[in-house]
Amino acid sequence: METPSSLQLRDPRALTAPEFQRLAQVLPEAQWFANLDSVQTRRAYQNDLRAFMAFVGIVKPEEFRTVTRGHVLAWRTDLEKQGLAGSSIRRKLAALSSLYDYLCDANAVTHSPVRGVKRPKVESYEGKTPALSDAQARQLLDAPPADTLKGKRDRAILSVLLYHALRREELTKLLVKDFSQARRGIPHMRVHGKGGKLRYVPAHPDTLRLVAEYLKEAGHAKEQDGPLFRPVHNPRAGHTAMALTPGGVYSEVVVCYMRQVGIAGENMGPHALRATAATSALENNADIVRVQEWLGHASISTTRVYDRRHSKPGDSPTFHVNY
């Protein structure tokens, strides 16, 4: 039987002694931040924590351990005086709460000063992102030309968004092979979601057809490990094919065709297509728990903001008034 000392001789540790010591001294506050999976969450929480640090005068990370509930209450009052929306204040308090939950687990503090601090009430359980009508969704799907490479690509993109409720970042991460995943005889797409979470979504027949037409026209169907949706102009010889960016999905595809068919309004963009798909699924009797899994939501409360079954404009008493 090998002893720990003999194992060490055969496989010396990769870290040097100074590196090992330095990592052992990393503060829990820094560990919490490094442990956040999502780039978007990390960016938002970083901004929120910087705002709190500026308000209470924190300079060093370890000074978070001297914060009391009084400091948090004063910050909440200051945020309210700034006229921030309740949802923004709740997010900022959630960022602070996440940090202190980690510090409690690491025994760096005995309790969270955020616990017990009331958060603003939810203004509405309906999300602020609008959903398109069925007619608008159909207009958008038919808007790109069917006889050009860009048109074929954009029809496929809009179909993926409107039939599968993907986030635009998820769409840009799709590889060619992600559309050839058969599960129990049904074609699925493999979606790389937030926080590195993987989910498999059954592919709509119309989307499969449109993606196949796009790949045939684009010519990269055999590049299984390459990005599925790419800029129309091919890269120069010797350069790796690049994926279409989230910004490109927003400006070159979604907003471009929305303007073309006359769809306008606040918050109109790729997320409106995700809201449209979720709303349509729920209105057509999809189970909300299955919709939660389909969207890749960690909490069903996030899914409920898309549940507009009890707020259809056509059901309003306005249309029952008769003079």
HEC string of 226-292 equals: CECCCCCCCCCCCCCCCCCCHHHHHHHHHHHHHHHHCCCCCCCCHHHHHHHHHHHHHHCCCCHHHHH
Residues 119 and 153 in one domain: no
Q: Which helix (H) or strand (E) holds 86?
A: helix 86-105
Report the distance separating Cα 119 and Cα 73, nearest Å. 10
Q: Report percent pLDDT > 90 for the chain.
A: 33
Residues 46 and 176 in one domain: no
Last residue of a domain, one of 123, 154, 171: 123
* CATH number, residue 267: 1.10.443.10
Residues 155 and 274 in one domain: yes
Cα pseudo-dihedral 162, 168, 171, 172, rounded to 10: 150
Residues 183 and 296 in one domain: yes
Residues 83 and 199 in one domain: no
pLDDT at 18: 63
pLDDT at 23: 44
Selection from 140, 86, 75, 110 nearest residue 272 by Cα: 140
With respect to residue 3, please indicate whether it lies within any of the assigned structural domains: no
Last residue of a domain, one of 75, 102, 123: 123
With respect to residue 10, please indicate whether it lies within any of the assigned structural domains: no
pLDDT tens, 197-256? 889 988 999 999 999 999 999 999 999 999 999 998 755 544 557 899 999 999 999 999
With respect to residue 318, please indicate whether it lies within any of the assigned structural domains: no
Residues 170 and 279 in one domain: yes
Range of the domain at 302: 134-310
Q: Are 45 and 95 in contact (CB under 8 A)?
A: yes
With respect to residue 185, please indicate whether it lies within any of the assigned structural domains: yes
pLDDT at 74: 93
Residues 102 and 140 in one domain: no
Q: Which helix (H) or strand (E) holds 201?
A: strand 198-202
pLDDT at 205: 92
Q: Could you give the C-alpha distances from 242 to 77, 186, 223, 229, in angstroms and in order? A: 47, 29, 12, 9
Point out the residues of the chain with pLDDT beneath 70: 1-13, 15-30, 33-38, 122-128, 234-240, 308-316, 318-320
Residues 156 and 247 in one domain: yes
Domain count, the chain: 2
